Amino acid sequence: MKDIYKQYLKLNRNIFIAFAVDFIVSAIVAQMLIEQEHYINATVTLLADHGTFLSILGFLLYLDNRNKYRLNSGKTNWPLLKTDLVKIIASLGIAEIIYTIVR
């Protein structure tokens, strides 16, 4: 059971780090575009927001799980990788849709 909790803590840590970096980048982009129209500022900031968050989160998840999907032969365990990717994309997809609507 401890391994399951450890995986959840790693995922939550990665999401928090990605969110913190994303918050800073979005604030900088919004300040850089303060002279522009509001809809341009919001659109570009939202694009920077999604790009930063997903890039940082993907990189951190890769660092934490790069050995999880390797078989003893050195090949990639594609079925396990595919099921985990579907779970992550589904959960993040729903959260991102709600976040985009609220924002």
What DSSP string runs through 18-36? HHHHHHHHHHHHHHHTTTS
The DSSP symbol for 74 reads S
Domain count, the chain: 1
Domain that holds residue 91: 2-102
Instruction: Please write the tens of the pLDDT for every residue from 25-56.
Output: 999 999 999 999 999 999 999 999 989 988 89
Inter-residue contact 33 to 49 (CB < 8 Å): no
Q: What pLDDT digit, counting tens, does each position of 49-99 carry?
A: 989 988 898 888 888 888 888 888 888 888 888 888 888 778 777 777 777
| pTM for this predicted structure | 0.74
- Give the contacts of 48 (CB within 8 A, at least 6 positions apart): 25, 26, 29
